[in-house]
Chain A
């Protein structure tokens, strides 16, 4: 074991990198009360690779900052942990509107990329709870997604190629620029959602879509959750193609609409050409009425936009409170059961109906009760994860199987790519 080690020693070894030490600037890397004393902000993928290699050789650990404390962030417990902030690696390298592809460095935020694409009438169909803060790199590392995944898929369906920096100093490429590509192993899929535990993704090529001509949202109110789920089941299983379908047990704060206490709401997003949206709207209303919907209302423009940007938060409140946020995944047909599992006055629920996700937010929760819930969910071929909560619930933020043992193949892959475990993932947590 070498002598006392701290990040400043590493800084001295890599003077060409940008290092941030000014306290005001480091506010941006705060996690609750914790403030780092030094953050590495490389200016290029080559510098990222250099940092990884040096850190690996000198037995430092790297933790990656994704622009927000809500992804992959935890307070480091070692002085030898270096925080890597990708904020300076944020350029759009190549935008090819004719081919509907864009290659962008992953320190760029989603909002910033979208505004660049919108000028050509295109967009990247990905969502994040904090599009202005969260780096694209965080979205890929944690496989973040929002309501529109129902129609557009998630990161794995949208990434055509990427560049990654490995702890041995190599910069490698996976994939390419085309949709049809089966050359070699699909490293893109391996890295997406890996919390950068195999290497650090630095650049990615995404496929894009034209911005839809028309967008409308339907709010449908139900008295009983069973009816709401039957409605969404029929809606998602037929020839319509809603962009998003969310079941809520109350309107999110900030959305202004008269709703009777105790109602179950289903919010449906329809996008496409005008005639397609209108026809879908009409058919959706018919299906809703068939399942005993009490009332419907169409939201457009600003109201609709606000609703969906809130829903993209996946139930987590914007402020850094002490709430407990859960993320539950089950086969979609089991959603009604898990919905009922968390039915209490204090829990607010948001279900991505067609997909099989449930987000639950509660002021507090007991570990033992959550363990029980987790067992039930596991028995349904699902999983339960605490995506935000106090330290006492740390164990439940891990997502492995009951025996909590990292599956052998995953361990074997980590042994190949990061034998010294230099890349510290809050691995097992996806937000």
Chain B
């Protein structure tokens, strides 16, 4: 009865062709890039803010959960409709609405691919700093939901630092504009609150982002280490020397092998770790910075340093880094990518503990890290057909998060809590902390209908 009412209501709003109810269509919305799964009862593809608002109002009235979805490349289960209900897909809202060079900002709809925005800015000599590895397929709405980072956030910040305002539809259907082109817009920083809220407080329907002029010059280095610990120490040493590189990325032996197999980028094989270091800014200063970095790395035991000679080489290096996760499919059929952060100086210790946990659980491990931020992505490789493997992998993942928490870090740097890490929340938050977050959620969504079952553990005793 309710479903019929729902489907009719949704069809009235967006047109029947943009409502999906067939099992084979809904089956395709049960998953994202994580290991989680859910079962929606319908899917809707709104084409405007107004339609989003009307859909939310309808589902609110009917008491039906709604889960927003962009490209569905979420890694923690954020796009999964764990309590069923409607999946609201934003892919029709995919226009770049305005690029305002004078005010250094751009207005986009949530379904725009991050890379599409970058490409539109290139001819103007501008770029958008947050550049997650998934940028060619992850949407701006998804980036906002997860406060996406990317290699360049070491110097320039994460999505939160680059969103100036949003138009948001809150769970009861109300549309609000928050923030704007003027600085420090009055009131609470709800923009900051919404970024990273994993689609549980509101659905953003327009995003105003800061864009920046391209730096004059850039230098990209590949640094080779025979020892993972040396690489980690070199990272700390570079920052401690007062250099703020634009990026500081690390890959270990396992990942390097997989990436080379997939991309033939010409990465050196049989090494313990690679660092990709990039510095940008004024031409005058970069040679000196590069010199300093090279001498620091050598001092910490680097075997070799190679500089990318031109844009093509630079692009190839980055393509290899960005394809790192997926490339692991070359080695084993399946993988689980983890996401934790530790203070930078604790990175070598964290990597050691990751290796130990891998040994303990008998799992093959690869490591990719935004080393400059202390944000590590250990990857467990496995064969999904092996009996009991998923549980083992999840248990090992939880141990890694415990290690990160104990080292003074946190349980997610950029992939979000989703459903995957709810059980790890008590590692870093007290009940009082969680209650405060529940209060925030309650202020936006008193019926708990928008993307329920994410981020917050259920209240004890309920």
Contact between A and B in the complex (any CB pair below 8 Å): yes
| CB pair A416 B433 closer than 8 Å | no
- Which chain A positions have C-beta within 8 A of B244? 209
Closest CB in chain A relative to B182 CB, distance in Å: 4
A171–B244 Cα distance when bound, in Å, is 34
Chain A residue nearest to B157 (CB atoms) is A157
Question: When the two chains form their complex, are residues B428 and A189 in contact, meaning their CB atoms are under 8 A apart?
Answer: no
Closest A residue to B104 by beta carbon equals A237
Given A239-B214, A332-B103, A409-B444, CB of A181 within 8 Å of CB of B439: no
Q: Which of B101, B285, B433 makes the CB contact (< 8 A) with A272?
A: B285
B70 within 8 A of A: no
Q: Say yes or no for A312: interface residue by CB 8 A criterion.
A: no
Q: Across the interface, which residues of B come within 8 angstroms of A275, CB to CB?
A: 282, 284-285, 288
- How big is the B interface, by class? 35 or more
The residue on B at minimum CB distance from A275 is B284
In the complex, which residues of chain A have a beta carbon less than 8 angstroms from the beta carbon of B432?
Answer: 166, 170-172
Q: List 24 A-B contacts (CB under 8 A).
A: A98-B239, A98-B344, A99-B239, A143-B184, A153-B157, A153-B161, A156-B192, A157-B161, A170-B436, A172-B432, A178-B373, A182-B196, A184-B433, A185-B437, A186-B196, A187-B436, A188-B192, A238-B213, A276-B285, A355-B183, A356-B181, A357-B184, A407-B187, A410-B188
Contact indicator A170/B416 (Cβ below 8 Å):
no
> With A178-B413, A409-B176 as given contacts, are A183 and B442 in contact (CB-CB < 8 Å)?
no
Known: A178-B373, A275-B285, A356-B103. 19 other contacts (CB 8 A): A98-B239, A173-B430, A176-B409, A177-B343, A177-B409, A178-B341, A178-B374, A179-B157, A180-B414, A184-B434, A189-B160, A190-B440, A198-B188, A236-B104, A241-B281, A329-B184, A331-B181, A410-B188, A430-B186
User: Given A156-B192, A189-B192, do A385 and B186 touch, yes or no (CB 8 Å)?
Assistant: yes
User: Which among B160, B421, B436 has the greatest number of chain A C-beta atoms within 10 A?
Assistant: B436
A5 within 8 A of B: no
One digit per residue, 1 when the CB lies within 8 angstroms of any chain B CB and 0 when it does not, for chain A 102-143 equals 000000000000000000010000000000000000000001
Q: Which of B54-62, B145-153, B249-257, B355-363 contacts A (4 or more CB under 8 A)?
A: B145-153
Cβ-defined partner of B374 (8 Å) among A180, A272, A383, A410: A180
Q: Are B436 and A381 in contact (CB under 8 A)?
A: no
Q: Does A46 sit at the interface, judged by CB under 8 A?
A: no
Q: Which of B170, B193, B344, B441 is in CB contact (< 8 Å) with A99?
A: B344
Residues in chain B near residue A410, CB distance under 8 A = 187-188, 190
| Distance (whole angstroms) from the CB of A338 to the closest CB of chain B | 10
Q: Complex Cα distance A143/B149, Å?
A: 24
Task: Identify which of A96, A179, A276, A383 contacts B182 (C-beta below 8 A).
Answer: A383
Q: How far is the CB of A268 from chain B (nearest CB, A)?
A: 15
- Pairwise interchain contact B345-A332, C-beta atoms closer than 8 A: no
For the complex, is A399 an interface residue (Cβ under 8 Å from B)?
yes
**What are the residues of chain A within 8 A of B342 when measuring CB–CB?**
178
Q: Judging by beta carbons under 8 Å apart, are B153 and A172 in contact?
A: no
Interface contact B180-A381, CB-CB below 8 Å: yes
- Is B321 positioned at the interface, with any CB of A under 8 Å from its CB? no
- In chain B, positions 321-346 with a C-beta closer than 8 Å to chain A are 341-345
Give the distance to chain B from A64, nearest Cβ to Cβ, in Å.
17
CA distance A413 to B445 in the complex (A): 11
Bound-state Cα–Cα, A399 to B282, Å = 40
Q: Which residues of A contact B (CB under 8 A)?
A: 96-101, 121, 143, 145, 153-154, 156-157, 166, 170-174, 176-190, 192-194, 198-199, 209-210, 233, 236-241, 272-273, 275-276, 279-280, 329-333, 352, 355-357, 381-383, 385, 399-400, 407-410, 412-413, 415-417, 428, 430
Q: Among the interface residues A171, A184, A209, A382, which one has the most CB atoms of the partner chain B within 10 A?
A: A184
How far in angstroms is the closest Cβ of chain A from B317? 22
A239 touches B213 (CB 8 A): yes
Chain A: minimal CB distance from B33 (Å): 16
B contacts with A: majority SS:
loop
Is B440 within 8 A of A185, CB to CB?
Answer: yes
- If A187-B440, A329-B185 touch, whether A182 touches B102 (CB-CB below 8 Å) is no
Contacts of B139 in A (CB 8 A): none
From known contacts A172-B430, A280-B282, A381-B180, infer whether A409 and B190 are also in contact, taking CB-CB under 8 Å: yes
Contact partners of B409 in chain A: CB under 8 A: 176-178
Distance A171 CA – B430 CA, assembled complex (angstroms): 10
Which residues of chain B from 410 to 460 have a CB within 8 Å of any chain A CB?
410-417, 421, 425, 428-430, 432-437, 439-444, 455-456
B149 / chain A contacts, CB cutoff of 8 Å? 180
Contacts of A156 in B (CB 8 A): 160-161, 189, 192
- B285 engages A182 (CB within 8 Å): no
User: Which residues of the other chain, B, contact A185 by a CB distance below 8 angstroms?
Assistant: 193, 196-197, 201, 437, 440-441, 455
Q: A403–B439 Cα gap in the complex (Å)?
A: 27
A279 to B286, CA, bound (A): 13
Q: Are A182 and B416 in contact (CB under 8 A)?
A: yes
Assembled-state Cα–Cα distance A241/B282 (Å): 9
Q: For the complex, give the distance between the alpha carbons of A174 and B341 in Å.
A: 15
CB–CB B102/A333 < 8 A: yes
* Chain A neighbourhood of B193, CB < 8 A: 185-187, 189-190
Q: Which one of A188, A237, A240, A355 has the greatest number of beta carbons of chain B within 10 Å?
A: A237
**Chain B: minimal CB distance from A329 (Å):** 4
Instruction: Say whether A190 contacts B437, CB under 8 Å.
Output: no
Residue in chain A with minimal CB distance to B408: A177
Contact present for A183 and B285 (CB under 8 Å): no
Interchain CB contact under 8 A, B153 and A179: yes
Say yes or no: B412 contacts A182, CB within 8 Å.
yes
Which single residue of chain A is at the shortest CB-CB distance from B434? A184
Query: Distance (Å) between the CB of B450 and the closest chain A CB?
Result: 13
Q: B63: CB under 8 A from chain A?
A: no
**Inter-chain contacts of B153 with A (CB < 8 A):** 179-180
A237 neighbours in B (Cβ, 8 Å): 101-102, 104, 213
Shortest Cβ distance from B140 into chain A, in angstroms? Answer: 16
A270 CB, nearest partner CB in chain B, Å: 11
B375 in the interface (beta carbon within 8 A) = yes
Contact A409–B192 (Cβ < 8 Å): no
Q: Are A181 and B410 in contact (CB under 8 A)?
A: yes
CB-CB under 8 A from B387, the residues of chain A are none
On chain A, the residues within 8 Å of B284 by CB distance are 275-276, 279
Contact B182–A416 (Cβ < 8 Å): no
Beta-carbon contacts of B186-225 to A below 8 Å, as 1s and 0s?
A: 1111111101111001000000000001111000000000
| Listed residue (A238, A332, A385) with the most chain B CB atoms within 10 angstroms of its CB | A332
From A180, A332, A356, B370 is in contact (CB under 8 Å) with: A180
Pair B157/A98 contact, Cβ less than 8 Å: no
Given the complex, which residues of A lie within 8 Å of B157, measured CB to CB? 153, 157, 179
B396-412: contact bitstring with A at CB < 8 Å (1 yes, 0 no)?
00000000000011111
- A239-B214, A409-B444 known; A190 and B189 CB under 8 Å? yes
Within 8 A of A (CB), among B83-133: 100-104
Select which of B184, B242, B412 is within 8 A of A181 by beta carbon.
B412
Is B436 in contact with A382, judged by CB distance below 8 angstroms? no
Q: Are A170 and B435 in contact (CB under 8 A)?
A: yes
Q: A186-B193, A239-B216, A430-B186 given as contacts; is B373 within 8 A of A176 (CB)?
A: no
Contact B455–A180 (Cβ < 8 Å): no
Interface presence of B25 (CB below 8 A): no
- Which residue on chain B has the smallest CB distance to residue A176? B410
CA of A357 to CA of B182 in the docked complex: distance in angstroms?
A: 8
Q: Which residues of B contact A430 (CB under 8 A)?
A: 184, 186
In the complex the two chains form, what is the Cα distance from A181 to B281 in whole Å? 26
* Contact (Cβ within 8 A) B408 A412: no
